[in-house]
Structure 1
């Protein structure tokens, strides 16, 4: 009986994701009420997340529909082509699945940011930077990892390149989410990715409370004095100012943004790498994702955001997120699935016939 009900629940690929969002959202609300610190919506690229995500979704909708509409009806009748495509392919079920993925991601992300923001209050005086630094020193045979990278890569062009990679993460993740939610007819694919990313936020927030830490750039700042001004160093300075305001009055300060263990930059980019591989995306996409991941890992150490253990833990969170989300959405994980994106209006009758199916296609 229980097994049958569980099968029914898993028939909708967002059951687990919605439950996860509800759980972490309620947790954030309870903590906010208990501490007397209002929930805040974190700002980011193109404004708050509730503005950013719908805009990205609409942009990918246009990207998927406009070229096909022009091919179908010609430039002069683009409007008619758009109407035909929307009528034939954009069911309310499809729109509902996209909206569910965006909302699930949004709730988990905003809750994660706020729960992370409560760290200095709930874990006041607890800090593992000394322990994590000693591990780094031992692993690198008596050297600081950041020093070795500065000597190996230099502190001029390399710093600018790595800073660009690190900061670009802020917009690449919602963009890839929008792509897999909007530009694909297999609902379970978008659900898998949205749930994987959401799990990153939840597991990452939990890891912050297990080993509260600031990271090398805040606990041993002299190691990074030679680095030039970049987008990363400016971000670090901004977070330092926010931290000082939080220590003075957490109820009025911006969201606390400093936490080292585990690295969510590493976990989320590793999630993308594994997801692209498991869903058999084009080879150039997989290679680009691996290169981006490696550069991100280097950047986290180079700029002092994280210790080595933070990155290892981040990779584990990324792996478990993809595996668990794959199972929860009916996609599996251990066996590679051919789930390349099927664009909205390519006339693929097989894909179209499965576009309204809530269960994972065989």
Structure 2
């Protein structure tokens, strides 16, 4: 009987992800109770995460169904075509898998943001900025990496471009998650991506507590005096104000958002790059992801968010998250899998094949 339940748990691609979300969620609740600091929902693009994630899911649902309905029944009978597609392809099992992926990501992200917010209380007075800065200085042969970047790229249009790339991360990652959860009939694909992204939050949280640091822009702000005002500048100022409020009253201030080691901008974008490659996504998507990743790495140094060691550690976390996520969802990692997005089943095999995928995700 026990073996049977174990086989069932292994067959479900979200077993590991749900356990991960439960673990970090409970940890956040316990720490919140012990410290007397209420849990907060981090707000962002389109409002709180519990609003924007379902909205994105519904948007991609419409993107997957409406064009196919028009192709199937024409403009005049598009509603009938959409109803047929939903009836044939959108089972409750498929909806449950999408909801599980979004919920797993949401719980891990909110818990990560809150546990990160407890840093100044739990690791008070511990700071590794001096050590990380010395490593940077040594790695760049007696130069500050930011100075090198500013000299090579200038501080004009390049600052605006890099700022746009850096800030766009806040909405692009949830968008890609919603796309892979909704626009594919292979449940394990969305589970792999959702689990990998969730692992980034958990592993990143651990790295923050191992090497608490603020980053060059906060520990050596004069290096960035020549940069123009951008979206990144406004974000950095906002985080600085939140930090000052946390030092005065951590129970009533917004969530603390400053942490340098490791760079989760780098880890999450590297996760996306590796995931697109391992699942054999279209070449243009892989190239775009690589370009975006490289620009993100440059931006983290250019604006002083991170030290070089932060980015190296972030890349390692991204690789580990994809590897563990692939193993946990039955997809493996070392062998390339062909998992291109499929909007609908038209022209494909019987939709019932989804149940076969669920029963044998590997």
User: What residue in structure 2 maps to residue 54 of structure 1?
Assistant: 54
How far is the alpha carbon of 1:212 from its aligned partner?
0.1
Whether 1:26 aligns to 2:26 is yes
1:108 aligns with 2:108: yes
Cα offset, 1:10, TM superposition: 1.4
Structure 2 equivalent of residue 202 of structure 1: 202
SS in 2 for 1:332: coil
- Does the 8 Å contact 1:25/1:107 carry over to 2? yes
Alignment-derived partner of residue 301 in structure 1:
301
Say whether the 8 Å CA contact 1:109–1:201 is kept in structure 2: yes
Q: CA deviation at 1:269?
A: 0.1
Partner residue in 2 for 1:356: 355
5+ unaligned residues in a row in structure 2: which ranges?
A: none
**1:276 Cα deviation from its structure 2 partner:** 0.2
1:114-193 pair list within 5 angstroms: 114-193=114-193
Q: Is the 8 A contact 1:13 1:359 kept in 2?
A: no
Check the 8 A contact 1:188/1:360 in 2, yes or no.
no
Deviation, 1:9, is 1.5
Q: Where in structure 2 are the equivalents of 1:151-300 lying within 5 Å?
A: 151-300=151-300
Distance in 2 between residues matched to 1:342 and 1:278, nearest whole Å: 17
- Alpha-carbon separation, structure 2, partners of 1:5 and 1:356: 18
Offset, 1:3: 7.1
Q: 1:353 to 1:35 in 2, by over 3 A?
A: same
Q: In structure 2, the residue corresponding to 1:16 is in which secondary structure?
A: helix
Pairwise CA distance, 1:8: 2.9
Q: Structure 1: how far apart are the matches of 2:250 and 2:347?
A: 55
Contact conserved, 2:13 with 2:361, CA < 8 A, in 1? no
Q: 1:336 to 1:233 in 2, by over 3 A?
A: same
State TM-score, norm by structure 2. 0.98
Distance in 2 (alpha carbons) for counterparts of 1:300 and 1:60:
30
- Provide, for residues 94-145 of structure 1, a one-character-per-residue CA deviation record: whole Å limited to 9, x for no partner: 0000000000000000000000000000000000000000000000000000
SS in 2 for 1:355: helix
Deviation at 1:2, TM superposition (A): 7.7
**Equivalent-residue separation in structure 2 for 1:244 and 1:348 (angstroms):** 57
Q: CA deviation at 1:359?
A: 3.4
Give, in angstroms, the shift of residue 303 of structure 1.
Answer: 0.2
Q: 2:227 is paired with a residue of what secondary structure?
A: coil
In 2, the alpha carbon distance for the partners of 1:360 and 1:46 equals 37
Do the aligned partners of 1:94 and 1:356 also contact (CA within 8 Å) in 2? no
Matched residue of 1:185: which SS? coil
Shift of 1:4: 6.4
Cα RMSD after superposing both structures:
1.2
Q: Which runs of 4+ in 1 moved over 6 A?
A: 1-4
1:291-330 superposed matches below 5 A: 291-330=291-330
Spell out, residue by residue over 1:60-84, the C-alpha distance to the aligned partner (whole angstroms, 9 max, x if none).
Answer: 0000000000111111111111110
8 Å contact from structure 1 (residues 217, 224) kept in 2: yes
SS in 1 for 2:77: helix
Question: How many angstroms does 1:346 deviate by?
Answer: 2.7
Does residue 96 of the first structure (1) align with residue 96 of the second (2)? Answer: yes
Whether contact under 8 Å (1:41, 1:48) holds in the other structure is: yes
1:343 deviates by: 1.3
Question: What is the aligned partner in structure 2 of residue 77 from structure 1?
Answer: 77
Q: For the residues of structure 2 that align with 1:282 and 1:201, how far apart are their CA atoms? A: 27
Tell me the number of residue pairs that the alignment of Structure 1 and Structure 2 aligns.
Answer: 361
> How far 1:355 moved relative to its partner?
1.7
Instruction: State the secondary structure of the residue aligned to 1:176.
Output: helix
CA distance in 2, matches of 1:2, 1:160: 58
